[in-house]
Amino acid sequence: MAECGCSCGTKQPAVDPAYRRVLWIVLAINAAMFGIEGVSGLIAGSVALQGDSLDFLGDAANYGIALMVLGRAVAWRAGAAMLKGLTMAGFGAAVLASTAWRALHQGVPDAALMAPVGALALAANLYAAYLLFRWRGGDSNMRSVWLCSRNDALVNIAVLAAAGLVAVTGAGWPDWLVALFIAGIALSGGISIIRQASGELRAPTG
């Protein structure tokens, strides 16, 4: 399935109950971090945190879809992917609009809240990657888990760098720049998922 470059190694159906348990754990981590980072972003006035939370939402959706496929609810997959695409595109557009608004009003985020939440996001992604590596070591999707985790970690580090620059400069632009980048990825990824899912929904192959 077409993803935002972050399908996080969910392509291979494995029936190992231990693997299923790992999927549930990383789903919970990602869903919790979507809430924590999203709410913190609103409190801190940081659009970069809000944007970064979207990756957790997308990853949580990927693990949810993977679990549905393991549970043989394959018929629901295209519908779930469509829902994910619409949500990602909608949130991405909202963060972009919010970024424009913050830039127009020269809003400066609270760097003292951005930094620890960004660090927590990095730790959550590294821990999820560790769990997936442990259970998927040696198989062909290790590379996709690696690429996905690396990209997520790089974005988390960009958020931390933005927090540092905001603290040093006392200006909001580092926050807006990182948000622009992350929300742009979420929006374009969401649109490509919608395209693919609408094709699958129109022509079900069984």
Give me the residues that bind Zn ion (CB under 5 A), please.
6, 55, 59, 152
- Rounded to the nearest whole angstrom, what is the least distance from the CB of residue 139 to Zn ion in the complex? 19
- Between CA 166 and CA 163 the distance in angstroms is 5
Nearer to Zn ion, 59 or 175 (CB): 59
Buried (b) or exposed (e) across 141-180, using 16+ Cβ within 10 A?
Answer: beebbeebbebbeebbebbbebbebbeeeeebebbbbbbb
Distances (CA, A) of 20 to 66, 139, 177, 203: 9, 16, 38, 29
Helix, strand, coil share of the chain (percent; to 5): 80, 0, 20
- Rounded to the nearest whole angstrom, what is the least distance from the CB of residue 170 to Zn ion in the complex? 31
- Rounded to the nearest whole angstrom, what is the least distance from the CB of residue 148 to Zn ion in the complex? 5
In this structure, how many other beta carbons lie within 10 angstroms of the beta carbon of residue 41? Answer: 26
Nearer to Zn ion, 45 or 58 (CB): 58
Nearer to Zn ion, 75 or 134 (CB): 134
- Rounded to the nearest whole angstrom, what is the least distance from the CB of residue 59 to Zn ion in the complex? 4
- Rounded to the nearest whole angstrom, what is the least distance from the CB of residue 112 to Zn ion in the complex? 26
Nearer to Zn ion, 74 or 123 (CB): 123
Closest CA to 52 of 66, 68, 36: 36
Nearer to Zn ion, 107 or 184 (CB): 184
